[in-house]
Chain A
Amino acid sequence: MNTAATTPTDEHADSHDHEHHDPRLAHHFDSHQQQFDTGKLGIWLFLVTEVLFFSGLFGFYAVYRSLHPEVFLYASQFLDTVLGAANTIVLLFSSLTMAWGVRCAQLGQTKGLLTCLVITLACAAIFLGVKSFEYTEKAHHGLLWAGMYQSPEHHEAAAVPAAAGAVESGDHGAAHADDHSDDALFEKTKHTLSYMTTVLWAVILLSGIGLAALFKNPNQKTMAAVLGCVLISAIGLQLGAYASIGYHHFGHAAEPTAQEIEMAETVPAEYAKQKEKIPEPKLAGTFFSVYFCMTGLHAIHIIGGMIAISWLIVRTVHGAFTTYYFGAVDFIGLYWHLVDLIWIYLFPLLYLIN
């Protein structure tokens, strides 16, 4: 979204030279105020398109929930409310630091801005870590989109050897045939999780390389900043993932108290408890289609936001932002808040169906 000249040279507020040579002012603007207003309107219109982009998914949700309310009621029990709520708070906190960062940028406090951006980036990574755990866990239980969905009843069936034939899907049926015990499940979760986090690591690394390639005349400072961003993202990711594993394990302690079970509404326990109450409806997989589409697209936006924030960090390290040129921080901040905003709606819509 940034339109200004990107020369990241450090010229402080003392640049009283001729205004047409101001590298921070693009040639077709008259003043910084005009440049800022233009960018601001641009980013708001971009957010408008984002809202409408997501509205298609909300339409998907609304239509299917109104057509098949029982599916949503049944399937949302498999989503872990505590993890969802924790993630919400992580994202809200990142929103706070982002807003604070914008304030720092407006006041010209470079150090404060850098701190805020780093925390924001770390929170985003933690969010992704938790999400990758949730995805892994869903995949293990066969709770996938409609085309791949496997009824949890298959786990029950698999427990009884005679009913092994009931498992129809080739790839996943085999993986699920013997994982009824919780411990085996955790081993597998950890295993797949390492696989998933590797993928995300690769994404982060590739983005980092791409980002570094994007800068003209990179110097050591640039490289160090990009490397730092990659590290922060990776550590945050692992932190998020292992925190959720730990939480999950805690929820499945050897003798879980009633309170713990209630707190950790996780799949097998909850399913065992409730399957008498709610029979599995047809089309239960549709819920997971909605779930994966919405959270997946949201996660892609998070990754995009992380790249943008890393770019901001590198430019902040170079001291590119001043009291009259901070548009980029503000605009990426607005984008980040919108991503947060969408999650604010996704959380109750997906996790809190009663």
Chain B
Amino acid sequence: MATVVDSSDPKSNYPIQYRELNYLNCSKGWKSWFFTLDHKRIGIMYLMGVTVSFFLGGLFAMLLRTELLSPAKILMGPDTYNQMFTLHGAIMTFLVIIPGVPAAIGNIILPVMLGAKDVAFPRMNLGSFYLWMFGATFFLAALVIGGLDTGWTFYTPYSVRENNASIIAALLGVFVLGFSSIFTGLNFIVTIHTMRPPGMTWFKMPLFLWALYATALIQILATPVLGITGLLLIVENVFRIGIFDPSLGGDPVLFQHFFWFYSHPAVYVMILPAMGVISEVIAVHSRKHIFGYRFIAYSSIAIAIFGFLVWGHHMFVSGQSKVVAVIFSAITFSVSIPSAIKVFNWLTTMYKGSIRFTTAMCYGLSFLFIFAIGGLTGLFLATLATDVHLHDTYFVVAHFHYVMMGSSLMGLFAAVHHWWPKISGKMFSEFWGRIACLGVFLGFNLTFFPQFMLGTRGMPRRYYTYLPEFQELHVLSSMGAYLLGISSALMVATLVYSIYRGKKAPANPWGGASLEWQCSSPPPHNNFDHPPLAGDPYVMESVVYNEEIGGFVPAECQGDNNGSGTAAGEKEV
């Protein structure tokens, strides 16, 4: 292994690769973590919280799939089953996917990518983390109290009734988590607007920042409506104000409007940052300039805006008026345009690139495959007539797992592996990483592809039991779930192992040209000593591989003596 250029090495003309004093060890003690204003530490805390929630939600999923191995009772009764799928959905949505990429990865990477010292409002950032913790506590309370069986959507009138402490706890959780999400989004927008370094114009921003910007727009504009919806539902439960409760003259469909006005855009809160990650990962690991930069940037914004106009497609069979349904169906189709633009641009980026099948890239490619399936099956559901047939079947379940779980989490996994050397300063084992990726990919498809078939054959979602002819596919699906669970655990184990036994990471292990690869790994407390000069973030030729360092260095540092880059892929460019 090559030497790592230390900050104490004055002879080297290479950029500093490693510092003794970095953000991870510059101060010690629990207080230095719990009261930190450093965006990177806050991001790490988010990452840990998200991981714990992911395994909690995943555990529920395993139990559910185990129960569904047979139509008879195996582990739990129907009531427990209802509560479990509700908690699985609510935890995975509100605690894992929504904060996953934006709050955890975004917090760590966004300011570094911008060459800034911190986000615009560091205290608010810490505050939003604590709001997240607070919200998570409410969810745990709901879990402990028990009896939350409304589904994660909290549809009225299920969610308006007596003895509803757990519903109220969960709604408070949603309300608080909403504000956590709002403040993160607000912070990101302001940071991107006012703290870009010299030279970084809007169209020289890395696409991940565009994606985070679009995400933050949705968070700011949609999440408040979720907040007020949750609040009104709490008030409805406590005081019985009769807004959503039909027994008091309320309108339950109004609740669905309120809920989906947020929760559909929230789907894009989940997927857009993942798309941003994929734009980075595919460009860097193909060693090629991203194709169609502006199209990808604009399509992020377009998805954010379209995302607001399609919520009604969740309500095609809820008694919504025909005019509204037709409008929503038409706009839903048009969301596929910017999504497809992105996919085509990623594919074209890979074309004639020198693709390296690193773990991050493997997750990126899995994303493309899974997102294609998830996106295209969405078109079936956007069609009014087909939707009436497929509504509330396993087809829908499979579709949104392909998009939300498959694509968003593949994006999160890709991001974690892509930026892991930067975050932890350690290289993980590529071999085990790829094995885990293969397991996740196969397990995921094995779990959810059979569900498409189940759905088209009429298996309704959220059912505790089923007809015997569905059993084969259910068993297949459960097997996939186990594989998925084991592989995710393997992935986490690989990463955690690397913290203790991994090699020291160079500043730029993959050859990225954006700013976060210019500071040492892991970054120092203030990220950069001097505000860096930003150029085009996708000119991969600006960095070349250096044997001695084991990573990439700026082309001008390499000098004439070492000649051209020696990375395997470089020759093909």
Chain A residues within CB distance 8 Å of chain B: 1, 3, 26-28, 34, 37-38, 41-42, 45-46, 48-50, 52-57, 59-60, 63-64, 67-68, 145-148, 282-283, 285-286, 289, 292-293, 297
When C-beta atoms are compared, the residue in chain A nearest to B258 turns out to be A56
Considering only residues 204-245 of chain B, those with a C-beta below 8 Å from chain A are 220-225, 227-229, 231-232, 235, 239-243
Complex contact A53–B224 (CB within 8 A): yes
Q: Which of A41, A49, A56 contacts B193, CB < 8 Å?
A: A41
What B residues does A60 contact at CB under 8 A? 232, 243, 254
Of B113-121, B410-418, B559-567, the one touching chain A = B113-121
What A residues does B194 contact at CB under 8 A? 34, 37-38, 41
Complex contact A42–B121 (CB within 8 A): yes
User: Please, how many angstroms separate the alpha-carbon atoms of A293 and B222 in the complex?
Assistant: 20
Of B182-190, B267-275, B534-542, the one touching chain A = B182-190
B453 at the interface (CB under 8 A from A): no
Complex contact A52–B239 (CB within 8 A): no
User: Please, how many angstroms separate the alpha-carbon atoms of A48 and B186 in the complex?
Assistant: 10
What B residues does A52 contact at CB under 8 A? 221-222, 224-225
What B residues does A293 contact at CB under 8 A? 232, 235, 241, 243
User: Please, how many angstroms separate the alpha-carbon atoms of A146 and B248 in the complex?
Assistant: 7
What A residues does B225 contact at CB under 8 A? 52-53, 55-56
B251 at the interface (CB under 8 A from A): yes
What B residues does A68 contact at CB under 8 A? 249
- State the main secondary structure of chain B at its contact with A: helix
Complex contact B123–A3 (CB within 8 A): yes
Complex contact A148–B190 (CB within 8 A): no
User: Please, how many angstroms separate the alpha-carbon atoms of A293 and B241 in the complex?
Assistant: 9
B476 at the interface (CB under 8 A from A): no
On whether A282 and B235 interact (CB within 8 A), knowing A52-B225, A53-B228, A56-B229, the answer reads: no
On whether A146 and B186 interact (CB within 8 A), knowing A38-B120, A293-B235, the answer reads: no
On whether A292 and B120 interact (CB within 8 A), knowing A48-B221, A56-B232, the answer reads: no
**Nearest Cβ on chain B to A36's Cβ, whole angstroms:** 10
Inter-chain pairs besides A34-B195, A42-B121, A42-B187, 11 sampled, C-beta below 8 Å: A26-B122, A27-B117, A27-B118, A34-B194, A38-B120, A45-B220, A48-B221, A52-B225, A59-B254, A293-B235, A293-B243
User: Please, how many angstroms separate the alpha-carbon atoms of A216 and B190 in the complex?
Assistant: 28
User: Please, how many angstroms separate the alpha-carbon atoms of A67 and B250 in the complex?
Assistant: 11
What A residues does B186 contact at CB under 8 A? 42, 45-46, 49
Complex contact A28–B122 (CB within 8 A): yes
User: Please, how many angstroms separate the alpha-carbon atoms of A285 and B247 in the complex?
Assistant: 13
Q: Which of B124, B193, B242 contacts A285, CB < 8 Å?
A: B242
Please report the total number of B residues contacting A with Cβ < 8 Å: 41
When C-beta atoms are compared, the residue in chain B nearest to A58 turns out to be B228
What A residues does B243 contact at CB under 8 A? 60, 64, 286, 289, 293
When C-beta atoms are compared, the residue in chain B nearest to A46 turns out to be B186
- State the main secondary structure of chain A at its contact with B: helix
What A residues does B116 contact at CB under 8 A? 28
Most buried by B among A41, A55, A63: A41
User: Please, how many angstroms separate the alpha-carbon atoms of A49 and B128 in the complex?
Assistant: 15
User: Please, how many angstroms separate the alpha-carbon atoms of A263 and B263 in the complex?
Assistant: 47
Complex contact B224–A49 (CB within 8 A): yes
**Nearest Cβ on chain B to A1's Cβ, whole angstroms:** 8
What B residues does A145 contact at CB under 8 A? 239-242
**Nearest Cβ on chain A to B556's Cβ, whole angstroms:** 27
**30 A-B pairs (CB sep. < 8 Å):** A1-B121, A3-B121, A27-B118, A28-B118, A28-B122, A34-B194, A41-B189, A42-B120, A42-B121, A42-B187, A48-B220, A49-B186, A49-B220, A49-B221, A52-B222, A53-B228, A54-B228, A57-B228, A59-B258, A60-B243, A64-B243, A145-B240, A145-B241, A146-B242, A147-B242, A147-B248, A148-B239, A283-B242, A289-B243, A293-B243
What A residues does B182 contact at CB under 8 A? 49
**Nearest Cβ on chain A to B352's Cβ, whole angstroms:** 41
Considering only residues 448-463 of chain B, those with a C-beta below 8 Å from chain A are none
On whether A38 and B195 interact (CB within 8 A), knowing A56-B258, A148-B240, A285-B242, the answer reads: yes
When C-beta atoms are compared, the residue in chain B nearest to A51 turns out to be B224
What B residues does A46 contact at CB under 8 A? 186
When C-beta atoms are compared, the residue in chain B nearest to A54 turns out to be B228
User: Please, how many angstroms separate the alpha-carbon atoms of A282 and B242 in the complex?
Assistant: 12
User: Please, how many angstroms separate the alpha-carbon atoms of A297 and B224 in the complex?
Assistant: 14
What B residues does A41 contact at CB under 8 A? 189-190, 193-194
When C-beta atoms are compared, the residue in chain A nearest to B531 turns out to be A30
When C-beta atoms are compared, the residue in chain B nearest to A30 turns out to be B531
What A residues does B120 contact at CB under 8 A? 3, 28, 38, 42
What B residues does A59 contact at CB under 8 A? 254, 257-258
User: Please, how many angstroms separate the alpha-carbon atoms of A300 and B254 in the complex?
Assistant: 25
On whether A42 and B190 interact (CB within 8 A), knowing A53-B224, A56-B229, A63-B251, the answer reads: yes
